[in-house]
Structure 1
Amino acid sequence: MAATGQIGTVGRRTAVVAASSGLVVSMLSSPASATAGDAGSLPAVDTAALTASARAVLDSAPVVTSPADATWTVDIPAVTAETPPPPPTPAKAKAASRSAARAAAVAKPAVAAFAVPQAVAGNAVLEIAAKYVGTPYVSGGTTPAGFDCSGFVGYVYAQLGVSLPRTSGGIKAAGTIISRADARPGDIIWSPGHVALYAGGDSQIDSPRPGKTIQFRAIWQSAPVFIRIG
């Protein structure tokens, strides 16, 4: 194969290096000269000789091949997603019906502050007094809407037609002092600033103080004075 052209002087070495494949192509040409008077033709170049070294490099390069049916595999560990169980639903408390609340109240009797003495039965004073158990203490009170201590004693005796002074001191002065051994249910117990009705044994009924209600209870006075009316 011949290359032609109008080149005045050719004297060159050409080296082509392909590092990735190890291919080296060297082209060496001997200096040649042409005169202006020539017909403009260049000498023929033997390309087979120029590429012989490159072909030798290609022939000696290692060849990497892979089977046509080769497959690639990747080991991926199995991952299992677990859904956490839903939180437990809180149980709704059932509201107690009013009828159930009333039934419970009826089934559970009220506990008396002090057992009702046997002396109440057949005793006119104590039978009247027992009707007002639970009535609140009211300072200055003289009616079933609320009693103070002397207001309660005076009200009970008034139901039997007996009129008593309004104050505890006046009630003491209106009666006769007796011994505890001689006292009978329905007599009056006096202590400084307070009066109650004797209910027999070691018990009494009275309207004690603010925040409390009329109840049968034990005699708490350290030195009670027993008064009999009439």
Structure 2
Amino acid sequence: MALIGLATATPAIAEPILLDSGSVGDSFTIDFDGFVNGGPSLDGLNSSLTLTLTAIENGIYTFDYSLTNTGAADDGITSRVSGFAFNTDPDIDAATSTGTYGYTNTDSNYPNGIGTVDVCFQAQSTGSCAGGGSGGVYDGATGTGTLSLSFGTAPASLTLDDFFVRYQSISGIDGVTSASGRQITSTSSSGGNDVPEPGMVLLFGMAVLAIAFGARGRGQAATKVRVAYA
């Protein structure tokens, strides 16, 4: 029972997004929480990013993006998502973007203890991934555009991982005016499912073991009965 309690308390872990030439047209959605300096998730800070791979040409991966601030202003907490970021494997040579998040930075530090990220996309040209200014999307709003990741030599496949967002202009949370968000789940339009929480996987395994032991116990009992009547 102690193991079950620990397992269910474990947060979901989103798997990396793996892309190749067969992924053009696929969409991927990443959901985020909000936190400060490695602390627990803060109620009222939530957002969601959808990336759609539209083309792979001449070593350039091009995506449409749509980022929604899913926080609800009616809970008394408001925020602005000023940017998003992720890591790539292999490393990109350069990145460009248009639309709401039309500015990019590479190999820049992300706040709240996250550290260096390969690339970030921002609503303001601030010179760092920490964000600033007044751009981005507020509660209930959505920002859209396109982004491109450039490589000197086109990789046969590309991995996107470690997704983050940046919250600013926060009100309604005592002592917090800015925060970051980490990916908590990811889904794919190409038939992928929500990444299960590790706790749920453990619970499933324990349930299978319980069924197996139960069946074994019933088998032993039946054997004893047959011996008794022999």
TM-score (norm 1): 0.22
Please identify the structure whose Cα radius of gyration is greater. 1
Q: Greater relative contact order (Cα 8 A, min sep 6): structure 1 or 2?
A: 2
Is the strand fraction higher in 1 or 2?
A: 2
